[in-house]
Amino acid sequence: MPRWQHPGGKLRELGAQALSDTELLAILISSGVKGKPAEAIASEIIARFGSLSGMARQPLEAFLQFKGLSDVKIIRIAAAFEIARRLAKEAPHGEEKQAP
């Protein structure tokens, strides 16, 4: 039986690559609301938009429909997608740029 109660523990123990898209999103969401944990919210979002890529193409207002997503959580998700976009532009083909 796993020793973790939250995807963050799983990430710490097994590494980020071991987590599903839902678990990674649940970490960004952080906490759920009464009767709906962060993983359930994350699962609902991914089911609605089809994938992380589908999520990334949505306007911020599209996330307001999900019970349990506050403005802070929506902003955190938007910031994570922007970081990913910038990283993708920085390092073509997954290679790190070398410092001059």
Across the chain, mean pLDDT equals 88
Q: Which whole number is the average pLDDT over 59-68?
A: 93
Contacts with 93 (C-beta within 8 Å, 6 or more apart), sequence order: none
Cα atoms found within 13 Å of the Cα of residue 7, Cβ hemisphere only: 23
Contact 44, 26 (CB under 8 A): no
pLDDT tens profile 19-39: 999 999 999 999 889 999 999
Q: Give me the residue label for tokens 């506050």.
A: 70
Is residue 1 pLDDT above 60, yes or no?
no
Q: Which of 19, 9, 23, 26 lies closest to 69, judged by CA?
A: 26
The domain segmentation of the chain, as residue ranges, is: 7-91
Tokens of residue 9, six digits: 């523990």
